[in-house]
Amino acid sequence: MVTRIDRRMAKLKAEGRPALVTYFMSGDPDYDTALSIMKALPKAGADIIEMGMPFSDPMADGPAIQAAGLRALKGGQTLVKTLQMAADFRAGDNETPIVLMGYYNPIYIYGVDRFLKDAIASGIDGLIVVDLPPEMDEELCIPALKAGINFIRLATPTTDDKRLPKVLQNTSGFVYYVSMTGITGSALADTGKVAAAVKRIKGHTDLPVCVGFGVKTAEQARIIGANADGVVVGTAIVNAVANVLGPKGEKTADPAEAVATLVSGLSQGVRSARLAAAE
Amino acid sequence: MDQPATPNSFRTGPDEQGMFGIFGGRFVAETLMPLILDLERHWNEVKNDPDFKAELTNLSTHYAGRPSKLYFAEGLTKHLGGAKVYFKREDLNHTGSHKINNCLGQILLAKRMGKKRIIAETGAGQHGVAAATVAARFGFPCVVYMGATDVARQSPNVFRMKLLGAEVRPVTAGHGTLKDAMNEALRDWVTNVEDTYYLIGTAAGPHPYPELVRDFQSVIGIEARAQILEQEGRLPDTIIAAVGGGSNAIGLFHPFLDDKDVRIIGIEAGGRGLDGIEHCASMNAGAPGVLHGNRTYLLQNADGQILDGHSISAGLDYPGVGPEHSWLRDSGRVEYVPILDDEALEAFKLTTRVEGIIPALESAHAIAHAVKIVPAMDKDQIVIVNLSGRGDKDVHTVASMLGMEI
């Protein structure tokens, strides 16, 4: 089954440039604002959208994404509303792939079968569920693949060559290489090591490899994008939202505009990645 | 709902995937997966290794003071006028609670694995103190994550950890209790994968932690079973232990699980009552979900967001429970009942007065249930209560509950 992710990745490959994968937190700081941010992403040059599903206990996330999730939950966000937001977005954009990213418990409580049915109806293309390693594939990964939704796995520096095949086995859409051990929002890893890791993973799979964790600027996006099929930016976007919120959560400027400005710059970074590499 | 068939033995879990029925498992980020598999390999190597056992037994005896006594609580027995009450005196262990049993086992494991640094989470500070103690004894740097609320209400233990050379990092996220400390410990581990050993304090978390913590704590039940046979010539009618994450309880219960005539009761923190959300009775008022690496009963809302809960006792203030308890609950082998803050406080005062023993507030929950059921039992019946820790750490909390200043 060919998904929107597969089509988008093939198109970018033909264009000879990496994808810009942008993460935002659904419901941060409220439903309407988050939807306006989501709509602004493709216009500013994002190729794939990762939609954060807020969770009360985000064990793999740093302070920025933790805070964004809590703002969203405080604003009344639920998984039902996240799926609704995806559907609202889809009404105006049937091309940009949407990947839901988060933790398993809200999905488990929603009910896996019901979740997959509603996710497809809302135009979701892929899932990244941080706390479901391949050992737990029966929970959601296999049912998602059967339902036609990509299950995107994280590979990390601790995923050695022996373990990689297991991690890649049921992965589809793309592989998300987490460029360092640690939580989201940490400092960028050594770019030489990242390039070597991407090459190592590509030795095991034909899937596109996107790299995330620590990318904050257009320059970093350009450097990472020289070797990867995609560059994932999350914390920087979430921070762009936080920066225009006052102490009581009131908006001091338009969050969608702040995000669009950042993403436009990042987009230029990935668009010049291969040109720079060819020099 | 389908009830699982009654197994021939309740002591065979977990399976190879780390599951106790639908509970348990390995719900962790990929970064941690290789570490957990590595831990499992080492655990499988040492658990039947006579040298490892000998080293642990030697430390348990000469350093921790095992075996802990099984004490006939004559004062409480007379006061209640029913069954004979015995206390398993884990409060007499080095560091003042059962937590040392697990910490000694895990520090030896960390040493074998060549790890250089210890991290731990703590609620009441009992596990933090035990972890800091073994880290000091074996020369490891140690970082203890502790919720900011708990840092405030368990200040004597915070000071002890610092004296022992550990760094205590207060965690302000959420309500600043055990759940938040565990999140932060996991974030540290995911960042420092190369050299760090995560010394989990309770029989929860991803496989193999629930199994290995249970096995290190089972010394409680193994001793208690032999001691009651020696002292009374028969098994007890009822055994009772408090359940937060559930390590002292599973340690007492596990060796008795296949003694079908022994009634086993786990006590959850009922807080201010089960009607609202001010309690930590995940098995009485929660639902199965996934948190901190395992599937288990959790306090959560309809959207799968984890609730904070409440208990007078920092050690029970956790919205989940070890996965084996969830399985024992559903299989019907163990009963889990709540005890309110006020009931625990009364038991705390009573035990202090009639036994001259100041119990930890966690243990006071278990005693409170004995206070409820013992008077209606026959005088020749026997109840064992796990006195999991001593209450010195709780005197500030109790004083403020009683409106006193110390």
Average pLDDT over chain A, rounded to an integer = 94
Quick check: B376 contacting A, CB < 8 Å? no
Residue B139 has pLDDT above 90, yes or no: yes
Question: ipTM above 0.85?
Answer: yes
Q: Are both B178 and B270 inside the same structural domain?
A: no
What is the pLDDT at residue B4? 56
Q: Are both B274 and B146 inside the same structural domain?
A: no
CATH number at residue B338: 3.40.50.1100
Q: Are both B199 and B284 inside the same structural domain?
A: no
Name the class of domain A4-278.
alpha beta
Q: Are both B222 and B263 inside the same structural domain?
A: yes
Q: Are both B177 and B297 inside the same structural domain?
A: no
Task: Kindly calculate the radius of gyration of chain A based on its CA atoms and give it in whole angstroms.
Answer: 17
B12 within a domain of the structure (yes/no): no
Number of domains in chain B: 2
Task: Kindly calculate the radius of gyration of chain B based on its CA atoms and give it in whole angstroms.
Answer: 19
B406 within a domain of the structure (yes/no): no
CB contact under 8 A, A59 and B187: yes
CB contact under 8 A, B303 and A80: yes
Q: Are both B148 and B248 inside the same structural domain?
A: no
Residues of chain A above pLDDT 90, percent: 86
What domain range is B390 assigned to?
Answer: 63-97+218-401
**Residue B99 is among the residues annotated as catalytic for this protein:** yes
CB contact under 8 A, B290 and A106: no
pLDDT average, residue stretch B52-68? 98
Q: How far is A175 from chain B (nearest CA, A)?
A: 12
- Per residue in A185-240, pLDDT tens? 777 778 888 899 999 999 999 999 999 978 899 999 999 999 999 999 999 999 99
Contact residues, chain A, for B31 at CB < 8 Å: 60, 154, 156-158, 178, 181-182
The β-bridge relationship of strands A230-233 and B335-340 is: unpaired
Give the C-alpha separation, B338 to B282, whole Å: 10
Give the C-alpha separation, B385 to B373, whole Å: 12
pLDDT average, residue stretch A35-63? 96
B6 within a domain of the structure (yes/no): no
Our CA angle for B210, B97, B228, nearest 5°, is: 85
Residue B390 has pLDDT above 60, yes or no: yes
- Per residue in B356-379, pLDDT tens? 999 999 999 999 999 999 999 999
Contact residues, chain B, for A158 at CB < 8 Å: 30-35, 193
Residue finishing a domain among B166, B193, B213: B213
Q: Are both B242 and B111 inside the same structural domain?
A: no
Is the separation of the CB atoms in B171 and B184 below 8 Å?
Answer: yes
Q: Are both B182 and B257 inside the same structural domain?
A: no
What is the pLDDT at residue B3? 55
Q: Are both B47 and B67 inside the same structural domain?
A: no
Residue finishing a domain among B173, B190, B213: B213
Residue finishing a domain among B154, B184, B213: B213
What is the pLDDT at residue B1? 47
Residues of A classed as catalytic: 50, 61
Candidate from A58, A106, A132 with C-beta closest to B27 = A132
What phi and psi values does residue B370 have, to the nearest 5 degrees?
-60, -40
Q: Exposed, middle or buried: residue B62 (CB in 10 Å: 0-12, 13-18, 19+)?
A: exposed
Q: Which of B99, B115, B179, B393 is catalytic?
A: B99
- Per residue in A137-194, pLDDT tens? 999 999 999 999 999 999 998 899 999 999 999 999 999 999 887 887 777 778 888 8
CB contact under 8 A, A163 and B33: yes
Average pLDDT over chain B, rounded to an integer = 95
Q: Are both B137 and B237 inside the same structural domain?
A: no
CB contact under 8 A, B305 and A55: yes
Q: What is the per-residue DSSP string for A224-242?
A: HHTTSSEEEE-HHHHHHHH
Q: How far is A78 from chain B (nearest CA, A)?
A: 6
Q: Are both B228 and B177 inside the same structural domain?
A: no
Quick check: A152 contacting B, CB < 8 Å? no
**Residue B363 is among the residues annotated as catalytic for this protein:** no
Q: Are both B179 and B315 inside the same structural domain?
A: no
Comparing C-alpha atoms, which of B74, B79, B13, B82 is closest to residue B237? B82
Domain assignments of chain A as residue spans, ordered by start: 4-278
CB contact under 8 A, B33 and A135: yes
